[in-house]
Structure formats: structure tokens, C-alpha cells
Amino acid sequence: MENLSIRKMLSWAAVLLWMALIFSLSHQPASESGEMSSGITEMVMETVEQILPVAETDFDQFEHIVRKNAHFFIYLILGILVIHASRGSGSHSFKRIGLAVGICILYALSDEFHQLFIDGRSGEFRDVLIDSSGASLGIILYWFAGKMLRRNKQNVLHHEQVQG
């Protein structure tokens, strides 16, 4: 029993640490955030150019895509962490899914509100939609993977019973 509560606390700690990472990234002034995303965009573009040397890419447009994908994937991970942490709560899976989505949407809203007070940053409703979509996909992927694992485990148990 104690092992379960430690795992649950660690799961929620992972959620809080990931939220702290999101907060720290959002707390960067626009100049710092822009430098970081430009550096990442340059690395991605160099990799793309090595794989597809004939591809021509507009840096500003590509950087915009990288930034929006970063929102999506950061919240996809948050969604997975939140649904995993809520796993042992005992509530019905659809309630857990709704709770996880709600937590992620509220955090996305608070994150964009927070950016209103950061030099050169703004809060964008579009980003809340991107963040919420990423979190929702993460939650759905986690749920689907869990369902597939449970089904596979049941099939193995059934096969062992038939064989033995």
C-alpha cells in the first residue's frame, strides 16, 4: 500500500515539475524566448536540409511552425503525465479523462494569462487551443495504449489458461 502512495506522489510530482518547466519557459521575455526558438529552428532546418537538400524553407515561417509544435508537444506530455497521475484515483475512466483534460486546459489558460505580464509576450487564445489539443491527444494516446495493454494481457492470460 505504501509503495502505491509513493508512486502516486511521484506521478503528481512529475506533473508539477513539468508545469514548472512550462512556467519557466513562459516566463522568459520575448527576446530570450525568440533566441531559444531561433536556435532550435536553425538546428531543425540544418537537419532537414541534410535529409532533403533540395528543400527550400522560409526561416520565419518554419520558426512559427516550430514554436506552435513546441506548444502542442509540451502539452501532449503534460496530458500524459496528468492522466497517468490520476490513474490511481479510483474514479471512472471517463471522469478521469475529463478531469485530466480540464486540468490541462486550465493550466494552458493560466499560462497564456501569465504571459500577458512578461516583457514582449502576449497571451494568445490560439495557443490555448493548440495546448489543449496537444494535451487531449496525449490523454487519448495514453488511454488507448492502456486499453491495448490490458487487452493484450487478457489474451495472454486466456492463452495460458487454455494451454495449461
| Sign of the C-alpha dihedral computed for residues 137, 104, 64 and 36 taken in this order | negative
pLDDT of residue 47: 79
Q: Would you mind telling me the total number of residues written for the chain in this entry?
A: 164
pLDDT at 30: 82
Q: What angle do CA 159, 163, 164 make, to 5 degrees?
A: 115
Q: What is the pLDDT of residue 89?
A: 61
Domain around 133 = 2-163
pTM: 0.84
Number of domains the chain is built from:
1
